[in-house]
Amino acid sequence: MKTKLLTLALGAAAFATVSSSASAATLDDVKAKGFMQCGVSTGVPGFAFTDDAGDWQGFDPALCRAVAAAIFGDPKAVKFTPTTGKTRFTALASGEVDLLARNTTETFSRDVDLKFTFGPVNYYDGQGFMVRKSLGVSSALNLSGATICIQTGTTTELNLADYFRANNMTYEPVPIETNAEAQEKYLANACDVYTTDASGLAATRAAFEKPGDHALLPEIISKEPLAPLVRHGDDQWADIMKWTLNALINAEELGVTAANADEMKASSKLPSIQRLLGGEGEMGAALGLGNDWALNAIKANGNYGEIYEKYIGPNTAIGLERGLNGLWNNGKGGILYAAPIR
């Protein structure tokens, strides 16, 4: 009996030591799994949606695919996990997803307190309001007493409270979980106003039967720098996210597209292009990836500009102008300015 008891105790002790915490080397885990897990939203037209074949498409999934291509050379080596505004951070912190690309605003508390590392901003946004034109409201300052649909667990929830308080106005918040639910409530007139990031409003409105009946109010009440994020404590993984996005932006600046990337690598004499595409230097190896990491990332969905044009640009139903999200040197007021790859 003695021996038996001892075995039991030892077994239990061994069990206890197995209790693993979130491993530090995410890249190794991802490589071992053979795919990356990416958290996206539950569905915002243009930004994240499933196509007819059931594959995730959109501005945010495109970034996930670029990162997967940088790691595996295969943009399809991603599993997508739809998350709500409420579940997204838990999903990332618990290791359910490796990367969160889900129109998430970078803030101090999310970085420092919730312990996430944000990549470069991939969309400069701000919180706006959408109302029915028939209400005859022309400014957010006329919204006192309105019923407002708002996604819970977001920064917009806090901005809204601050804005109405600062302007001495009252409102009735209707908390909802997903964009689809908000759309349903708003269209049923169960709320007068829908507020979220202006890009999200434009995207949502584009999917309406009669987009012309709805107006975005001129006030933008907050800064919402949307960026991808990963867990604190794994710098290598954070670097992969950061430099993949930087590579996509730099590629646009250098004129490298999905179509001409291979050709550019073979023929371009520009050192900056050669460094980007792995023709010279050992940039990829330093990241723990192959030397053609950026080349593969660009070939996945094209450069930043191509992704923008394909999913949310002026020629799509969403119709978002580049505005702040244009390149810094195109002379149209853009502020996209990616650190150079050298």
Partner 1 sequence: MTVAADFADEAEPFRISQLIYDKRYRSYTIQVVTMMLFMLAVAWLVNNVIENFEALGKTFSIDFLWQPASYDINQKLIEYSSRSPHWKAAVVGILNTLVLAFLGCIFATIVGVAVGVARLSKNWLVSRLMTIYIEGFRNVPVLLWILLVSSAFSALLPAPRQAAPLLGGGFVPTNRGFYFPAPVFESGSGILAIIFVASIIGAWFFGRWADARQKATGEILPVFWIRLGILLVPTFLMYFLLGMPVGLDIPELKGFNYQGGLFVRNSFMALWLALSLYTGAFIAENVRAGIQAISHGQTEASSSLGLPPSRTMNLVVLPQALRIIIPPLISQYLNLTKNSSLAIAVGYMDVTGTLGGITLNQTGREMECLLLLMAFYLTVSLLISGVMNVYNNSVALKER
Residue 223 makes contact with partner 1 by CB under 8 A: no
Q: Tell me, rounded to whole angstroms, the distance of Cα 324 from its chain centroid.
A: 17
Q: Which stretch binds partner 1 (CB under 8 A): 26-34, 110-118, 220-228, 243-251?
A: 110-118
Residue 221 makes contact with partner 1 by CB under 8 A: no
Q: By CB under 8 A, how many residues form the interface with partner 1?
A: 54
177 exposure class (CB count in 10 Å sphere: 0-12, 13-18, 19+):
middle
Instruction: Provide the minimum distance between the beta carbon of 131 and partner 1 in the complex, in angstroms, as a whole number.
Output: 10
Q: Are 214 and 131 in contact (CB under 8 A)?
A: yes
Residue 152 makes contact with partner 1 by CB under 8 A: yes
Residue 161 makes contact with partner 1 by CB under 8 A: yes
Q: Give the contact letters, 66-105, x = binds to partner 1 (CB under 8 A), - = no.
A: -------------------xx--xx--x------------
Residue 145 makes contact with partner 1 by CB under 8 A: yes
Tokens read off for 176: 């909802």
Q: Which stretch binds partner 1 (CB under 8 A): 39-47, 96-104, 137-145, 276-284?
A: 137-145
Q: Is the dihedral of CA 259, 265, 268, 273 positive or negative?
A: positive
In whole angstroms, what is the distance from residue 133 CA to residue 82 CA?
A: 32
Candidates 232, 272, 290, 310: give the one binding partner 1 (CB under 8 A). 232
Residue 141 makes contact with partner 1 by CB under 8 A: no
In whole angstroms, what is the distance from residue 61 CA to residue 79 CA?
A: 10
Residue 173 makes contact with partner 1 by CB under 8 A: yes
Strands 36-41 and 99-100, bridge-based pairing: parallel
Residue 329 makes contact with partner 1 by CB under 8 A: no
First to last CA, the chain: 67
Instruction: Provide the minimum distance between the beta carbon of 86 and partner 1 in the complex, in angstroms, as a whole number.
Output: 5
Q: Are 72 and 49 in contact (CB under 8 A)?
A: no
Residue 237 makes contact with partner 1 by CB under 8 A: no
Candidates 6, 7, 22, 141: give the one binding partner 1 (CB under 8 A). 22
Q: Are 104 and 69 in contact (CB under 8 A)?
A: no
Q: Are 259 and 295 in contact (CB under 8 A)?
A: no
Q: Are 278 and 265 in contact (CB under 8 A)?
A: yes
Instruction: Provide the minimum distance between the beta carbon of 224 and partner 1 in the complex, in angstroms, as a whole number.
Output: 16
Instruction: Provide the minimum distance between the beta carbon of 89 and partner 1 in the complex, in angstroms, as a whole number.
Output: 6
Task: Please count the other Cβ atoms lying within 10 Å of the Cβ belonging to residue 57.
Answer: 19
Which residue is it, tokens 């929830």?
Answer: 157
134 exposure class (CB count in 10 Å sphere: 0-12, 13-18, 19+):
exposed
Instruction: Provide the minimum distance between the beta carbon of 121 and partner 1 in the complex, in angstroms, as a whole number.
Output: 21
Candidates 6, 25, 190, 270: give the one binding partner 1 (CB under 8 A). 190
Please report, as ranges, the residues that interact with partner 1 according to CB under 8 A.
1-2, 5, 8-9, 12-13, 15-16, 19, 21-22, 85-86, 89-90, 93, 109-110, 113-115, 135, 143-147, 152-153, 157-158, 160-162, 164-165, 171-177, 184-185, 188-192, 231-233
